[in-house]
Amino acid sequence: MLWNDYEEKLSDQIVRTMENYTSQFPESEDLLWNDYEEKLSDQIVRTMENYTSQFPEVKERTAKRGRKLVDYDSARHHLEALQSAKKKDEAKITKAEEEFNKAQNVFEEINNELREELPVLYQSRIGCYVTVFQNISNLRDVFYKEMSVLNRELYNVMKKVETQHSGKAFIVKGLNR
């Protein structure tokens, strides 16, 4: 009877000791995971958002180029029609040539800008992806190093409990004897 009481008290003491030592670990793991997610969002999502935020402007300018191409083609067609007409009106032809030249200049200016900017934008994806993958790798390394520290602390707690209560039989996985 006395032995059973002693054994029960010892079991309760072991459980309380383990609870005291290990109560901090789940909170630490949650904090590490939340920190990892927050940094992942800050560093990676923000980088991708910055890169993709350029797309609407380029898309708008590409659409404008398309509209200016239609204007350019229309002015060219109008000029050709006036020049090939049987009854030629030099005033209308001169005005059509001015409109054609103006439409051509506007179109070529936008077209040349896009021809310079689009390859640069396309190439910038590499730098963006490199940054994203480096950030993921670095964040992952930090996360696992910190988890390793927590796991080592938990392992040391388990060894202390085993040492303090060596009369009890329990197995600590990974403990080399």
Q: Do residues 80 and 31 touch, judged by C-beta distance below 8 A?
A: no
In this predicted structure, what is the pLDDT of residue 172?
A: 53
| pLDDT, tens digit (0-9, with 9 covering 90-100), for 21-78 | 555 556 677 788 888 888 888 888 888 888 989 999 999 999 999 999 999 999 999 9
Q: Do residues 128 and 51 touch, judged by C-beta distance below 8 A?
A: yes
* Planar angle of CA 109, 112, 114, nearest 5 degrees: 110
CATH class, 36-163 region: mainly alpha
Residue 69: CB atoms within 10 Å = 14
Q: Is the pTM of the predicted complex or chain greater than 0.85? A: no
Torsion angle, alpha carbons of 50, 56, 60, 61, to 10: 20
The residue among 39, 48, 13 whose CA lies nearest residue 127 is 48
